[in-house]
Structure 1
């Protein structure tokens, strides 16, 4: 969707301090757009937010904000309420297009942050604002947590046989290019767009094999049963009615179980199964090149 010579727009960007938001900011500036980064603090202060938006007079608003923890209170405050306030401010400022960075996992909403994201998606699609909702698959960063383990010669942790889940990971810069490319793309208006990086889909074990190969080390794996998260959730849930701490930790266990057992691919509406074939691909950066940079200290 990227144009060779995009029309410069006035853009308000929320979430510019995050990993994807920072990549979007770089892309917007590289393409000559006038960008106003919305401070995170302003999202919790309607008067401050209105002041920022009045000054920016955006034609396009891009939201890359997301709750950091995924805990119910955080998800409600950020994934839903902050976006609702941003949408209201965008309407008041006369913006014509709201681009939302969501997540592909909302297709099967079992977690608090997924339900909060879907609640705002519903608000956005029901509004009079022109919209584009982008649901990316896994980010490179989310698949890099075990790089130090592998570099240190430790085994790569997998769940079950390592083939329970698959994804088509996408780089920060490729995703940013896709997001910014939606600004002047008529075919993106009023659409919910799932997007992945260049395929093929990769399992957790294949991620480990790739890391070991790049590190020049023999592959070693240690299997963990996802049921450990189910047990933890059940135990923590016993204390949830009496303690917010227990409720929050029970949700973290649910999040861990979800990512250990659910693929980040488009679900086939006819079968309910995750489908690599139905998951669109975009970009050119590969997970292998990312791992090489990571292990070389880049």
Structure 2
């Protein structure tokens, strides 16, 4: 019975328009006087519309994300920073602005470099000429199938170092053995499970932040997720907790990037539609919307955060170009591109509520086996009813026009390529069900 409920839920989740990786799987010792003042983001998606009162209010929502900054930094959990890290700071504790240097003289450490977004971020930073350090486990990638030689080949010409983000000493002695100017964290739990979320989305990322601070790094770029605006899931709470720690750290600047859905998150039904299956959607397919962004465009935006001053100490929601798409919108594009007749299979949200209730009940008696299953149920329901857009807490609604757009790769162009060439590079890995688009 337990397996049946899990399989039914997983099938529905896999074939929904947005899978759990949609929102981010689903990232020193400088004087505080040189920190840039907090400013709202200045993306073209906002500035193009500031003429109207409505759009001014929408822009203020993003500005409000960036007005709170704690006055005191939390104490570091590192009891004895290494001599190597202590030597990283200058004698008077004041560092020059690394942004004034040539990119080749700026060392950028990327953690989570073998993940879906991390790969593109690492390569984009290297393309821009930065001295990139890619820190990873010896077995990485989907289901750990990449070994050391595979990883080195993937990042040819990049300084690849092997270690463990859960081990502070490994971080200090390997990742930070040379002075690191900027840390870019693309770490994310692969499944969104309860323990995995706390271990990766919070603790592993916190380890990187702590060591970065103790070793005198100047800036920390965090890949978070837009869904932390309404934290109802364990991985969202873990990410938000880390965001708050980062904002409270007055000895290092930050850029917190909150993307909407990734392209792979809405690609789960491409092959199924090509094969003539119906498009599975929750309700009438208009309950939630998102502005998906390509991995390359998001990597470019994250690389911008390394150097652009208007992104210092900012929370930066970001989506791809074009309109916000509902599941119904996505289905219509796929049916048009494949030439298949429109065929829908609506799933009542109440069905998911019932499944979650049963899994929660079973988790009381079989916690180790069922707690994560119940959490996966909550993840599925969240994406069935919550949009990946900027949230207005006053009006209690999502605002597509207030969600900044970036890049030039559209969802329709991605779908067209996927229909023609397949989904290589968009593998779901641990989020795949029944082997669909797994690897």
TM-score by length of 2: 0.66
**1:201-251 Cα distance to aligned partner (Å, 9 max, x none):** 111011011111122222211101122221111111112233221111110
Which residue of the other structure, out of 121, 131, 139, is the alignment partner of 2:243? 121
Q: Structure 2 matches for 1:168-187, cutoff 5 A? A: 168-187=291-310
Aligned partner of 1:91 among 204, 213, 220: 213
Uncovered stretches (5+) of structure 1, i.e. residues with no partner:
none
Map 1:15-34; keep pairs closer than 5 Å. Answer: 15-34=112-131
> 178, 203, 218: which one pairs with 1:81?
203
SS at match of 1:133: strand
Structure 1 residues 125-274: aligned runs within 5 Å: 125-127=247-249, 128-242=251-365, 243-274=367-398
How many residues were matched structurally?
A: 296
Is the CA contact (8 Å cut-off) linking 2:103 and 2:131 kept in structure 1?
A: no
How far apart, in 2, do the equivalents of 1:6 and 1:249 lie?
A: 49
For 1:293, the equivalent position in structure 2 comes to 417
Deviates more, 1:21-30 or 1:52-61: 52-61
Which is worse superposed, 189-198 or 47-56?
A: 47-56
Cα deviation, residue 6, structure 1? 7.4
Q: Report SS of the residue matched to 1:240.
A: helix
Deviations 1:158-182 (A, max 9, x none): 1111000011110000000000011
Work out whether 1:51 is the aligned partner of 2:169. Answer: no
Distance 1:238 1:158 in 2: 26
In 2, Cα distance between equivalents of 1:278 and 1:37: 34
Which 5+ residue runs of structure 2 have no aligned equivalent? 1-42, 44-98, 138-162, 423-439
* Structure index of larger Rg: 2
Deviations 1:47-103 (A, max 9, x none): 111112332421100000100111110000000000110001111222100000000
What is the CA–CA distance in structure 1 between the aligned matches of 2:117 and 2:178, rounded to whole Å? 21
> In the alignment, is the contact (CA less than 8 A) between 2:182 and 2:217 conserved in 1?
yes
- Paired with 1:11 and 1:129, the residues of 2 have a C-alpha distance of 14
Distance in 1 between residues matched to 2:107 and 2:342, nearest whole Å: 49
Over the residues paired in the alignment, what is the CA RMSD in angstroms?
1.6
